Amino acid sequence: MVKKFKIMLKGISIVLLIMIIINFGMDWCIFDKLGNGSDDGWLGFWGGFLGAIFAVVGVWWQTNKTITNEKELMFSNARPFFNLTVERDTLNLGKLYVTSDEEIGLGRKVIYLKIDNFSNKLMMKVVLKIYTKDGQTDKISIGRIEGGESIQIAPSWTHDIYKMSITDSEFNELDLKIKEICVYFTTEKGERLKLYFQNINGNIENIDSEKIVESNATKNNLNKLNEEYSNNEVFKESKMKLLKK
């Protein structure tokens, strides 16, 4: 936005400079030597000339705006619609991404995260950075989440809860340790996005989102994480357990 403003400011300055030069230049003898045109004739000529420049600039601006809008439409059509929730229940059958090798399975209530991809769009190189109230950070990396797929996620405190021997009433009183979550993922069009979630009264709500990469850089090298990670860090999928009966 700042770059576009500077370009527009330079363009306006150049046009104003040309108009000032023409205004004072009409009295120069060079115009008399070029022909017997009157001041009105020269003003008409320069007016038409500048009008043509404005017309070309207007067409360029409109074309550029159309291309930008079409590009944004292409990106937006590839963005998946998903939901990130906190579950207080027993784990379901299927994929469970974990941060520990400790035992965890079906049949016992725990607090865990769940991603439901409601769209038919693919989510690639998904990274969750989970920040807790006590200053701990868990990182979960998921290679891909298919359209219509649900993924369960067990941060470190999920394992701690699984090991507890508590009643249902005590379980219901457990505090949600999450402070905030950042979710990074790449779309089918190579656009990398970051979504920011926050714990608001025990519910995880999306607060903000932003583009990180919207060029072919991510598409051509999906192993490289976005600029918030070190350049030498490559994507490594977290451990996954397939929960079965």
**Could you give the CA distance from residue 215 to residue 223 in angstroms, rounded to a whole number?**
15
Q: Provide the 10 A C-beta neighbour count for residue 20.
A: 10
Q: Say yes or no: 102 and 67 in one domain.
A: no
Binning pLDDT at 50, 70 and 90, where does residue 232 land? very low
Q: Say yes or no: 203 and 222 in one domain.
A: yes
Q: Say yes or no: 84 and 60 in one domain.
A: no
Mean pLDDT comparison of 101-105, 176-180, 205-209, highest-scoring range: 176-180
Tell me if 87 sits within 8 A of 112, measured CB to CB: yes
In this structure, what token pair is assigned to residue 33? Answer: 């030597």
Tokens 């809008």 -> residue:
69
Helices (H), the chain: 2-25, 29-33, 39-78, 156-162, 168-172, 216-220
Domain boundary among 17, 45, 76: 76
**Could you give the CA distance from residue 18 to residue 28 in angstroms, rounded to a whole number?**
15
pLDDT at residue 160 above 90? no
Tokens 């219509």 -> residue:
148
Beta strands across the sheet bearing 137-145: 137-145, 123-132, 178-186, 192-200, 203-213
Total count of domains within the chain: 2
Q: Say yes or no: 139 and 207 in one domain.
A: yes
Q: Say yes or no: 164 and 67 in one domain.
A: no
Q: Say yes or no: 152 and 228 in one domain.
A: yes
> Considering only CA atoms, which of 179, 182, 183, 181 is closest in space to residue 202?
179
Q: Write out the residue range of the structural domain in which residue 176 sits.
A: 80-243
Q: Say yes or no: 65 and 92 in one domain.
A: no
Q: Say yes or no: 48 and 125 in one domain.
A: no
Q: Say yes or no: 140 and 24 in one domain.
A: no
Tokens 């990130």 -> residue:
84
Is-above-0.75 flag for pTM? no
Q: Say yes or no: 56 and 101 in one domain.
A: no
Q: Say yes or no: 100 and 181 in one domain.
A: yes
Domain boundary among 34, 53, 76: 76
Q: What percent of the chain lies above the pLDDT cut of 90?
A: 22
Q: Say yes or no: 154 and 198 in one domain.
A: yes
21-76: pLDDT as tens digits:
666 655 555 555 555 556 566 667 667 767 777 787 778 778 877 877 777 777 77
Q: Provide the 10 A C-beta neighbour count for residue 30.
A: 7
Tell me if 162 sits within 8 A of 110, measured CB to CB: yes
What is the Cα 18 distance to its own chain's centre? 42
Domain boundary among 76, 91, 106: 76
